[in-house]
Amino acid sequence: MQRSTPMWSLFLLLFFFCGCSGNVEPTPQLDSRYDEWTVDQFQQAMGDGEISSVQLVEYYLERIETIDAAGPKLNSIIEINPDALTIAQGLDEERTAGNSRGPLHGIPVVLKANVNTGDAMATSAGSLALAEHHASNDAFIAAKLREAGAVLLGKTNLSEWANFRSTRSSSGWSSIGGQTKNAYDPLRNPCGSSSGSGVAIAANLAVLAIGTETDGSIVCPASINGIVGVKPTLGLVSRDGIIPIAHSQDTAGPMARSVRDAALMLNAISAIDTTDLAAADRPETTPDYAANLSKDALQGARIGVIRSYGGAGDNPDVDANFEAAIEAMRAAGAEIIDEIEIDTRGMGGAEYEVLLYEFKADLNSYLQANDAALSSIAEIIAFNDEHAAEVMPIFGQEIMLLAESKGDLTDAGYLAALETSKRIARDGIDVTIAEHQLDALVAPTNGPAWMTDHVNGDNFSVGSSSLAAVSGYASVTVPSGYTSGLPLGISFIGGAFSEERLLQLAYSFEQATTARRAAEFKTE
């Protein structure tokens, strides 16, 4: 089989970027005709014969070359699918013959590089240890995207091993892809671990992207790059063929520039996978998430305001933006129930213990089931040590070492931590929603992007992802404004399988505020 040419060979030196900048000028020869276009707009144009899927793929390939590989060198795409144009040509022929597979027909999408594709692209999790790992089959969600007519354009960079390698990591850095940069300021961090997916959509390098989340890895890069991110309920989206951290929290989800686009993508990937044990808990029927989106959805909705999120009160700009978002919801007709306090004491430590145990067990299972060259986390650790200069030039593998030291999933310590973390998170959401008869909870998704720092690592300030992540429940982040030109987002958080209602509320908020602004690109 023909193999693609990994883009990491072009990007390997980028993580040494020093941030030295002189005069800045607009990126030259940047084609922006289709910037910020939605799925519906592209479908209308393709249906009218104004553009083909082949032309759309060519358009994004040119932007990737101009913005990602050159210009501001955002470094969000780790690999291009060499078959993308051929796939697009086939879909164009289907359309010409009068056959359309639906809203995603001919639409270019990118996938995080921990999602299996049974094609020429590697599935590496950003690690040199898996640089030549080619899956024999598509992940369930990749297959569903193909069936829906999407063009798998490429793989996106990520925080290596989904940011579960080191306590001193820099989000968006991997030993294959180097450092991904924030779409709004290349000196700043894109957050992770779905860094490349967030930046690629913010920069209009594709229409849609797949991210994955264990705790914050969809919603943080979505918020910090000014786009929409959906963290589905555990079991709604298949985990098949995705390099894992922890089966009790991992999920894939859509990343898009609009709520409706994210809903359309969720429709495509939320088919029931009977082989995924978590799917046993999902409802028998799956709604059309894009069907009932209305700008009036906030009218009469009861919205609970979480004031006890991480870093609450630490950033006055985040506070001011959050208050403005609350007032926008009130002006749209929502009933605001304020001063919601959720006690999460003991949840974080228990969650971390669960992730360490499950990372070892789940990664070992993935490597062995997918015939990877390395078959265990112990072998990954040894590879990293042997190739330390390339794999660990700026941070180590402390988390991997901790995970390897854990026992199996029958250990009493693991079982107690799992029970504790789930109980605290689920009670925190379920009891609060029931007590106040809420449609959703809201909180700031994150603070603004921090300066990328390869000496000290990440500098998180504000965050609210853990309740939804640990509980396994749904959350949707949507742009809510900017501070010093950097995006901020607000999260709508609900109970199990509440995606339909959350997307309705997020859409109503999006339409009321029209907060998103496209990133402007400059050369350094």
Instruction: Transcribe 373-399 into DSSP letters.
Output: SS-SHHHHHHHHHHTHHHH-SS---HH
The Cα-based distances of 388 to 15, 228, 384 in angstroms read 15, 36, 5
- Catalytic residue chosen out of the listed positions 175, 217, 421, 491: 217
Burial class (CB in 10 A: 0-12, 13-18, 19+), 312: middle
The span from the CA of 513 to the CA of 138, in Å, is: 38
The span from the CA of 90 to the CA of 223, in Å, is: 35
Return the structure tokens found at 238: 């298949």
> What DSSP element (H or E) covers 153?
strand 151-156
**Domains, the chain, ranges and CATH?**
33-513 (3.90.1300.10)
pTM of the model: 0.94
Q: For the chain, which residues score pLDDT lower than 70?
A: 1-28, 522-524
403 in Cβ contact with 360 (< 8 Å): yes
Instruction: Give which of 441, 112, 408 is closest to 251, Cα–Cα.
Output: 112
| pLDDT computed for residue 17 by the predictor | 28
- Catalytic residue chosen out of the listed positions 112, 144, 181, 406: 112
| pLDDT computed for residue 30 by the predictor | 87
Contacts of 436 (CB under 8 A, 6+ apart): 302, 304, 337, 340
The Cα-based distances of 472 to 66, 229, 357, 382, 412 in angstroms read 39, 16, 17, 33, 22
Is residue 193 among the annotated active site residues? yes
- Catalytic residue chosen out of the listed positions 53, 127, 175, 193: 193
CA torsion 318→322→328→334, rounded to 10°?
170
Return the structure tokens found at 209: 């992207």
409 in Cβ contact with 358 (< 8 Å): yes
The span from the CA of 107 to the CA of 88, in Å, is: 9
| pLDDT computed for residue 522 by the predictor | 60
| pLDDT computed for residue 523 by the predictor | 44
Q: How many residues does the structure list for the chain? A: 524
125 in Cβ contact with 114 (< 8 Å): yes
Beta bridge partners of 154: 80, 110
| pLDDT computed for residue 45 by the predictor | 98
Q: Report how far apart the first and last C-alpha atoms of the chain are (Å, whole number).
A: 39
